[in-house]
Structures are given as C-alpha cells and as structure tokens.
Structure 1
Amino acid sequence: MGLCNVECVERIAQYLDVPPKRLEISNKNIILVPECEKNSSSIQGFSTIIQALVASSKYSNMISNEKEAQALTQQWLEYVAVCVNHADLPTNAKRVFNELNTVLKDVPYITGTEKTIADVALYYVLYSIMKGLSQQEKAQYIHVSRWFDNIQQEKKLRQDLDLISFNLLHIFL
C-alpha cells in the first residue's frame, strides 16, 4: 500500500487529539467512515482525510487561514500522498530525499516558517525510512535531517516512536 497507510492516519489523528474514527482500506485507498451520521458520505484519500481530521480538531491553525499558505499546505499533502508514499522503494526514496533537501535548504518547515499538518504527515510517512538510514546517508541529506531532527523533538508528535539519532560528529573526526 505504501507509507501513507492507516497507521500513519491514526498517528496523525492521535497527534491532533481527534477521537479515532473507522478507517478502511478499499482498492489500495484509505477511507474514513463517518460515525453513524445520516447523510454523511465517507471520505477517501490520504490528503482529504488529513484535512478533515484537522478541520475536526482544535488545531485548525495547522492549515493556515491565508489562501496562499492553505494552498501550499494542500499541495504538500498531495505530494506526500503521491510521491513520498512510495519512498519505501530505494529509487523513489533517493528522488524524494533530493527534492526535499532542495526545498528545505532555506526554510525550517516544508511550507516555510511555520509547522503545518504537511510537516506532521511528512514526519510520520518518512519515519521508517529515516530510522533505517546510516549516519552517512543522513549527512547526505543534511537539510532533510535538520528538519526531521527539529520536528521530532516535539514529544507529542513523536508519541511512542524512538528518537532518531542525528549525531554527525563522528563522521567528521
């Protein structure tokens, strides 16, 4: 299925303090099934589900009120769903890490200067790959490593996930 999976959506819901909802997999797509609400249809697709979770949370500021910033966040959520989702394959991972490294060169967060739900989603989707990288590989993608190390410092975001080491000192000795 890829990295944008039910576990990832559940972690994002937990981060947003949104009660767990019923998630299903159908034709390799995640579906959010409404809780016994009449005339409510299910929500499909990673990006759409994440945006719905933010809208139903107390963290609605995770998607900016400004139209340009809102569009950028939505664009990055789609990038996560389409491109990063398959970064568990080595050839895709290299391309994604090179693209992200370029984007993160001059900004602390994926959409600019403030953390958004796109950063949160990207963290959970990339976690398993980052955990498997050697220190040399992390050094190769220095801007992605800086971003990841910064964002993982939030204990609420990390939840029960291990803190990944980015100690690059031993490489340069």
Structure 2
Amino acid sequence: MSLKYNSSNKVLDIIADLVDFDKSKVTFTEDQNASLRLDDGTVIEGTNTICQYLVQQSGKFNEWMGLSDNDKAEVQQWISYAQSTIKEAKDKAPIVQNLDKVLSSKVFMVSNYLTLADIIIYINLYSYICKLSTEDRFKIPNVTRYFDLIQNLVHEIKPKIVFDLVAINLNAPPVQKKADKKDKKDKKDKKDGKDKKDAKQENKKDAKQENKKEAKQEKKEKKEKKEKKKKPAPEPAAETGPDPSKLDIRVGHIIEARKHEQADSLYVESVDVGEEEPRTVVSGLVKFMSLDQLINRDVVLLCNLKPVAMRGIKSHAMVLCATSTDGSKVEFVTPPAGTKPGDKVVIGNYNGTPEKQLNPKKKIFESIQPGFKTTEEKECVWYAPDNTVHKFNVNGAVCKVDSIVGGGIR
C-alpha cells in the first residue's frame, strides 16, 4: 500500500524544491519508507537514494555529487553521517561539538564547494540551531558560521523553501554580563573590605558543616536503597555507528531468469542462495543486461531486506550491482572464484550475526549503502564514516566487478 507524499520529510521537501521536482510523485509505504517509481517501472527507494537521483537528473547541480572520485565518496559518507547520526541522535549537543572541531579547518564539508552533503547536514541541524540562544551559538562558532553560509546559499538558489532563514549575527560581541559583574564586585569589595571577607569565611565554615551532614545522610540513604534492590537496573545500550554485519549478504547462483510480464524494465530471477528452495528476485536490469548475461551467473545478494512486491511479483532479495558514475553502465558484484551459493559475504572484519530481517524504520541498510563503492582495482568496498576502507570478501578473497571504477553499489 502506498501513501501520499509525507511533508514531514524535510530532506526530500527541500531537495525537490531546489531541483524543481514534483514532490507528489514520491510515495511512502505504510512504514514510511520513501519510494519513487520511474516511467520505465524502476523503483527507487530510500530518502538518500531518491535525493541523489533527483540531483543527478536535474542536470543543473552535477557538482553537488562531487567533482572527483574521492569527493564523490566523501559526499556519500557525510550524507550517511547526517541521516544516520545527526538526524537520529536524541542529544545532538556532543555531535555538534565534534562537528565544530571538524569545521575549524573547513568551509564546506567536501573540498571547497557546495555539495548535497552540506545541504542535508544543514537540514538536519536546522531545528537544533533554531533553539539555541545567541550565547550558545558562540560556543560552537564554526558550526554557526557554516550553518549561516549554507542556509544563505540554499536561499539564493530557491528563496521560498520549507525553512525560513535563521537570524544569525556573526559579528555580535560575546555577552559582557560576567565582566560587568566583576567590575561591580571589585568596587564593592574595596568599599566593604575586611567585613565582607570575614562574613565570607564564616559562611564557608557553616556551608562546610552543612555539606558534611548532607553527605552523611545521602550516603546512608544510598546504602539502604542498594540493600533493597534485588538486581541492578541494566545500563542502556550505547549508541554505535553503522554495522555492516547486520546485513545478510550471501553468494548466489542465478538458475533461471525471464522478463517480467507486466514491466518491460524488470527481470524475474530464480536464485539459489544455499537454502532448500531458490528465492524469487526482481531486478531492474533489462536496459543494462541481456537474459544470457544473467542465467547461470554467480552473484552477490542482500538477503534480509523486507520482501517487496514489484508489479505483482514479490522480490525476496536484492542482487548487488555497481553503477558507473554517469549511470550508463551496470555490472554485477562478482563473488571470488571457488565460492558456492549460501557462502557468507563479509565486509571487512564486520563478521557478526545478521538481523533476521532488517527493520525498515531503523534505516540500517540506508545508513550503510552510501559508502558502498568500487575502487581503481575494481574491488568492492565500504567506506565507513571514519574514512576507513573495508572490502567485500568471502573467507578473505575479495569480491570485484568487471570494469566499473568509482561506482556506487546497490
């Protein structure tokens, strides 16, 4: 079931406005996953992926995706960081403070020009910056300066968008209240002299005695409370970054394939992934590959996505492919020689237990996928948010593509 466009998705709202795209074409599933169906029947899912598609198709803002392969990879990492870390954080203060350190030597997040990463970070920071007082904004000067720059650049492109300009005075002096109080205190101290000093010492003595009593009472109450408890309350789980081990990625073998009866752009494949029965998988590969290139082909699949019906046929996995930077070429991610259906594909050293089925609301795949890339050696890797590189491998042997360099993997 599809729902109408959800205006609460501010990222899609603003990106669609900037590139003059009709937002009503984007629909949402019942679990609020964004979905865009193209005229050829291809379905694009996920806010990040749709936004990148809209920018690429607009033709006016190609530099937003990065001008070099390194810049493109960095843009993807920051988009993932904005959507999975900044957006989802309940307490944004520590994240913004770290961001302030990063921005101490940067004007933009990537290189020296505006990218989609800057715009999405700006959107996810908006409500937080709005709530800060002028004094609090001076505590994060680099973030404040960066936010003001990006909001003005965005409003130059499209003056009337979802967000209003936030009034920020970068030249305002720091609050002088403390200095004023100090001057008054010095004058008063000179006038009162010894009397004030004696009174202060007496107050300290009284306060010290009172604090001892309170500390003793508090210690007693804590001891009694501890004895009454049968079990200590479990500590809340610490927040962690994207974890590729939650993805169930396996080697598969395409047994047979045919064209979808109701969609010219889709293939329907029967794929052996090491289970009792083959899985039915639907892929939008008709314009890029012939049936002969699919049948009897070893591939790599993501097997724990929630099954999705595509033109009446439910797809139970996703074949991972690399797409060239200009979108003209698509190639399979190929498992190493000697592997067999069902073999586990590990990303770097992330070899934990996969989720049985990914919860669409947690956006696990969406937070990881933007870092999936192909290298100059045509190896398939994941660029983590901390810029470390992790290879797709089966027992240490690396998965590759035939020819695409610097392409995204999905």
Is the alpha carbon distance of 1:99 and 1:157 closer, same or farther for their aligned partners in structure 2, counting shifts above 3 Å? farther
Q: 1:27 corresponds to which residue? A: 31
TM-score by length of 1: 0.83
CA distance in 1, matches of 2:29, 2:174: 43
Matched residue, 1:171? 174
The amino acid across from 1:146 in the alignment is: R
Which range moves more in the overlay, 161-170 or 129-138?
A: 161-170
2:117 counterpart residue number: 118
Aligned to 2:97: 98
Residue matched to 2:86: 84
Report the residue type matching 1:122 in the other structure.
I
Q: Deviations 1:122-161 (Å, cap 9, x if unpaired)?
A: 1122111111111122111110000011122232356343
Please state if 1:46 is matched with 2:50.
no
Relative contact order (C-alpha < 8 Å, sep 6+): which is higher? Answer: 1
Partner of 1:18: 21
Q: Name structure 2 gaps, 5 residues minimum.
A: 1-7, 177-410
Q: Secondary structure at the match of 1:68?
A: helix
**Aligned pair partner of 1:70 in 72, 76, 83:** 72
Alpha-carbon shift at residue 75 of structure 1 (Å): 0.6
Q: Distance in 1 between matches of 2:46 and 2:73?
A: 17
Q: Does the 8 Å CA contact 2:10/2:123 hold for their aligned counterparts?
A: no
User: Aligned pair in 2 of structure 1 residues 147, 40: CA closer, same or farther (>3 Å)?
Assistant: same
What does residue 159 of structure 1 align with?
160
Give the total of aligned pairs: 163
- Amino acid in structure 2 at the alignment position of 1:118: A
Percent identity of equivalent pairs: 26
TM-score after normalising by structure 2: 0.37
Instruction: List per-residue Cα deviations over 1:72-125 (Å, max 9, x = no partner).
Output: 0011110011101124x2x2x012202211111111111131110111111122
Instruction: State the distance in 1 between where 2:141 and 2:164 align.
Output: 20
Q: Is the 8 A contact 1:152 1:158 kept in 2?
A: no
Superposition RMSD in Å: 2.0
Give the whole-Å Cα distance in 1 for the aligned partners of 2:167 and 2:97.
Answer: 20
Higher strand share: 2
- Tell me if the contact between 1:47 and 1:74 (Cα under 8 Å) persists in the aligned partners: no
Q: Which residue of 2 aligns with 1:9?
A: 12
2-side partners of 1:158 and 1:142: how far apart? 25
Conserved 8 A contact 1:84-1:96? yes
